[in-house]
Structure 1
């Protein structure tokens, strides 16, 4: 994709009012998100670029947003000195702790989780994806507020491994 095409795409998204656009072809993958008034452009190209210099559109990332505390009361530091494990988001989307607004959360602080156990849901493009734990242990902290946007590889939970 040429720089002019990229600028035209960003202008189109800005005028359309869309908050997020993802485009993927065999040659490239591009994700454009709008936070406030400045669009953020992320792209990854799996094939090498030609050696000729190409103009690039650089859009600075907005300042990182601070996470609001989880709805549960803060917990004291774990008593053991074990290294805490993270359950991370495998995708970009919206984080939900429960299957529906009236239901209990999948897991709470203090719960024991096993590998393969559903710990949350991430909505991406109108699809609800159950996220399963890849670690075993006790939930020490929920790092994301319910119904918050999450990024790929963002930590969602801290887990203390069992013995």
Structure 2
């Protein structure tokens, strides 16, 4: 997805948020976008006031992370649509890498959506087996991000 596509999608999301519309679906040959304010309200009310990764004083929404467990491996999926970053800053090391031990609740990556930074926590303790995304790429809702082999840390 080019930067122009990302900017266009961001503009659509911003316009949707400022409108009274509750649901919006956009489908092109390169991507699909589904926005639903009714679903967002439940997520937004469930978790707030998590400190941002950046120096910004804006509260961070911490959406629930969906997981799919297969034979001791937990797949961590994207809780929302946005741009995924593997580190808090381009000059810093990634939050986690393949082979790292993580604890339940530890930040795996962040997703920027509508200029808000959303942490993606590990739902389980274990060892990172796969990082399924590249830094600074657009991710879709429910897209697999990490594979974690469950252990007791």
The answer as to 2:99 corresponding to 1:110 is: yes
Q: TM-score, normalised by structure 2?
A: 0.61
Aligned positions, number:
111
Higher helix share: 2
Alignment partners' CA distance in 1, 2:33 and 2:100: 38
The answer as to 2:126 corresponding to 1:137 is: yes
Alignment partners' CA distance in 1, 2:92 and 2:36: 38
CA distances 1:12-56 after superposition (whole Å, capped 9, x unpaired): xxxxx83342336777311436665xx74636697xxxxxxxxxx
Q: How does 1:11-160 map to 2 (within 5 A)?
A: 18-20=8-10, 21-22=12-13, 23=16, 28-32=22-26, 40=32, 42=34, 82-160=71-149
Structure 1 contact 82–161 (Cα < 8 Å) conserved: no
Q: TM-score, normalised by structure 1?
A: 0.57
Q: Over the residues paired in the alignment, what is the CA RMSD in angstroms?
A: 2.9
User: Can you give the 5+ residue segments of structure 2 that lack an aligned partner in the other structure?
Assistant: 1-6, 39-69
Structure whose alpha-carbon radius of gyration is higher: 1
